[in-house]
Structure 1
Amino acid sequence: MSSSLSRRSLLAGVGGVAFAALLPTEAYAHGNNGKTLSVRGADLSFLPQLEEAGVQYRDFAGRVRPAERILAAQGANYLRLRVWVDPPDGYSDKARALALARRAKRAGLRILLDPHYSDFWADPSKQPIPASWPTDQPGLLTKIRTYTRELVRDFARQGTPIDMIQIGNEITNGILWPVGQLYLPDGTQQWPAFTDLLKSGIQGAREAQRDVKIVLHVDRGGKMGDTRWFFDNIATYQVPFDIIGQSYYPMWHGSLAELQANLLDSVARYDKPVLLAEVAYPWTFEDGDGRGNIVGPGTLLPDADRFPATPAGQAGFYEAVRDVLKQLPDGRGLGLLAWEPEWIPGVGWEPGAEASNDNLTQFDFTGRALPSLSVYRRP
């Protein structure tokens, strides 16, 4: 996910209109087949900062515990870690990610690494080159390879090898702009430059750890036309990867029926498993810090009639997402990662700013566990 208000500029220049045939409501019946999702976890990259601000978390029994331990006790098995190159002091740099990786391993969690290849937030509306990096194509090809290789090696050296890595964050419009910008303002599409950068990053990751799984992460959860446009081109340019990663925020990415149709199409069309690398849903429309949220009373939730913005509605939404994933054929629905479910008031999306997602968490404004934490259970 991106910073507070920059999200969700439309995908410029995509071919085709997103289309998904609506599937019957019965498709979301719980307990469909007993399958276990192999990935059940969350991105908790803000956790150290929140703890430093004095935030505490309580489990269902009211006990104060580290957030990653609360999730693990509910059945979570993965932690996603954001890494920026040279962010503002206190934010998610490599040192912080390495420290949080040690906590993850102690809690029995595996790791998905999420390098943004940027000094701060990177998403479809912005992908700035780190200030210390080259700005030419040959220099960036070398830098993304060596940076990725050393980053992966650093996690292995400290005894916390990663299991999966994203080559960029929500790369729907490219990476390392303007060199790897996919859609230029004049309508030009730079697929060769963009995919060459992806291939170099992938090469670096596999030089460091041959068996690491490569995720290509876009933000088109329920948008089939956009997803096809992106991954058809990825296939054309022969980018080697293992997993299709999607962000799914229904207020921006469509209904659960559209999500299901898109994921079914993707696993059949590309013969790859899918992972919801970011998911969130409101448990309230109130604002925990009184400084503004990106989701509020005027936000359209496509399935609000079944899943209102309440703790019970949020829990029901996550159950429905589980069911969509479990119904994908041959275990191709790997699982889901909630996005910053611990980001309650206390830390802003940038220094001095608001916590703009504090009503999309899985803890209430005081740090008490919400019912949606049951999404992490096995099976």
Structure 2
Amino acid sequence: MKRILTALLLLAAVLVAAHPAQAGTGPGRLQIRGADISSLAKSEALGGLYRDSRGRTGDALRIMSQAGLNYIRLKVWVNPADGYNTKTQVLAVARRAKALGLRLLVDFHYSDTWADPGKQFKPAAWEAMPFDQLRQAVYDHTYDVLDALRRQGTTADMVQVGNEINGGLLWPDGSNSSWAGTAALLGAGYDAVKRVSSATKVVLHLANGGDNGLYRWWFDNAAAQGIRYDVIGLSYYPFWHGTLEAFQANLNDVAARYGKPVVVVETAYPFTTGDDDNWPNIITSAEPYPGYPATPQGQSALLARVADIVRAVPNGRGLGLFTWEATWTGVRGNGWDPADPASGNGWENQALFDFGDRALPALSVLGRG
């Protein structure tokens, strides 16, 4: 009997070593178990509802907190057409979140609309500014939002200076075709963050989380320019950004190469191929990543795998992950285009609440972290 038990234990050890991500053998719970909920304020204003796993209607923030999430992420636009994702909503949602013990990541887009690798458009009010004035505008805007949070007792715990800045920010001035401009604008944001709170961590965020060549090129240049930051942030969408193995290799490499902790500030996966708002979904495949169907179980398994990969980053440098956009359900009027209330969002099949507004199993999976 003893020999059989020993053999079984050895077999279990071999299986765990061969499949560490699936086995969930990382060292402890993730520090960050988060969700981007930038859409929540507008959803609620338009009548959006959220229910827990038992179907009881409640506050989405409380439902997420009770499931084990401990962090939220909120984006900030400068002067968006619909008046949402501004300081006003950030302050209101942050107050609610902090009252529940949740921590806060603020994501500055430095735009009136979406900023990502394909577009980093200046806010209209900043369009004609000479460079020195533009740099001051970055500082002033960053300071204004963060200081307002501090004064209401909800200081940001982490701050992104820019969103998916693969090609820089505030084009053309901050394009990294001229790294000096990129460095100066990022430096202005960093200085504003630290002036409000030296304890707040500054995140620099790129997309394409499986592209190690991109990350080495970008952060090597950042080092050469003396760009300051505390944490490397990544977007990783498995249907766009390479294999899970490439993602894992990149995470491990950049954490070691730059000596910084890493956090996945955006990831997601569909729980269905269905549609709930008569607007085409962005991801429609029945199996967007091999082995992980677009079902509630597939969503849970894929996000758990991403969490395990982050947890396994050597030396405890894998902080955690945020799903994007957890509360962006199919609420009429809460669409992709802030200038067009008739637009849908194309993402409701990747939220953490189903088409009946009920919390999906992935919410509890992430909460267990």
TM-score by length of 2: 0.91
For 1:113 and 1:85, locate their aligned partners in 2 and report how far apart those are by CA, in whole Å. 13
Match of 1:7 in 2: none
Shift of 1:132: 1.4
> What pairs up with 1:286-365 in 2 under 5 angstroms?
286-297=274-285, 301-302=288-289, 304-305=290-291, 307-346=292-331, 347-350=334-337, 351-365=341-355
* Contact 1:30/1:319 (<8 A) preserved: no
The answer to whether residue 126 in structure 2 is matched with residue 124 in structure 1 is no
For 2:365 and 2:184, locate their aligned partners in 1 and report how far apart those are by CA, in whole Å. 37
For 1:31 and 1:368, locate their aligned partners in 2 and report how far apart those are by CA, in whole Å. 26
**SS at structure 1 position matched to 2:19:** helix
Shift of 1:235: 1.0
**SS at structure 1 position matched to 2:349:** coil
For 1:362 and 1:343, locate their aligned partners in 2 and report how far apart those are by CA, in whole Å. 8
Shift of 1:378: 4.0
For 1:328 and 1:138, locate their aligned partners in 2 and report how far apart those are by CA, in whole Å. 40
Indicate which of 354, 357, 363 corresponds to 1:367.
Answer: 357
For 1:344 and 1:30, locate their aligned partners in 2 and report how far apart those are by CA, in whole Å. 31
**SS at structure 1 position matched to 2:221:** helix
Counterpart of 2:84, as a letter, is Y
* Contact 1:284/1:359 (<8 A) preserved: yes
Tell me the matched-pair count: 347
* Contact 1:149/1:206 (<8 A) preserved: no
**SS at structure 2 position matched to 1:132:** helix
For 2:321 and 2:130, locate their aligned partners in 1 and report how far apart those are by CA, in whole Å. 36
Match of 1:76 in 2: 69
**SS at structure 2 position matched to 1:253:** coil
For 2:365 and 2:33, locate their aligned partners in 1 and report how far apart those are by CA, in whole Å. 8
User: Percent identical across equivalent pairs?
Assistant: 45
For 2:223 and 2:282, locate their aligned partners in 1 and report how far apart those are by CA, in whole Å. 34
Match of 2:161 in 1: 167
More helix by share: 2
> What pairs up with 1:149-188 in 2 under 5 angstroms?
149-182=143-176
For 1:329 and 1:261, locate their aligned partners in 2 and report how far apart those are by CA, in whole Å. 11
For 1:378 and 1:322, locate their aligned partners in 2 and report how far apart those are by CA, in whole Å. 10
RMSD after superposition: 1.5
Match of 1:267 in 2: 255
Larger Rg: 2
* Contact 1:167/1:214 (<8 A) preserved: yes
For 1:335 and 1:112, locate their aligned partners in 2 and report how far apart those are by CA, in whole Å. 12
* Contact 1:362/1:372 (<8 A) preserved: yes
List runs of 5+ in structure 2 lacking aligned partners: 1-16
For 1:74 and 1:180, locate their aligned partners in 2 and report how far apart those are by CA, in whole Å. 40
Q: Deviations 1:301-320 (Å, cap 9, x if unpaired)? A: 34x22x11110000001111
Shift of 1:375: 3.0
Q: 1:201 to 1:295 in 2, by over 3 A?
A: same
> What pairs up with 1:189-208 in 2 under 5 angstroms?
189-208=177-196
Match of 2:95 in 1: 102
Shift of 1:42: 0.6
The answer to whether residue 133 in structure 2 is matched with residue 139 in structure 1 is yes
**SS at structure 2 position matched to 1:201:** helix
* Contact 1:135/1:179 (<8 A) preserved: no
Q: 1:25 to 1:318 in 2, by over 3 A?
A: farther
For 2:344 and 2:26, locate their aligned partners in 1 and report how far apart those are by CA, in whole Å. 42
* Contact 2:26/2:308 (<8 A) preserved: no
Counterpart of 1:166, as a letter, is Q
Match of 1:280 in 2: 268
For 2:366 and 2:293, locate their aligned partners in 1 and report how far apart those are by CA, in whole Å. 21
Q: Deviations 1:236-284 (Å, cap 9, x if unpaired)? A: 1111110000011111111111110110111111100100001111111
For 1:101 and 1:343, locate their aligned partners in 2 and report how far apart those are by CA, in whole Å. 17
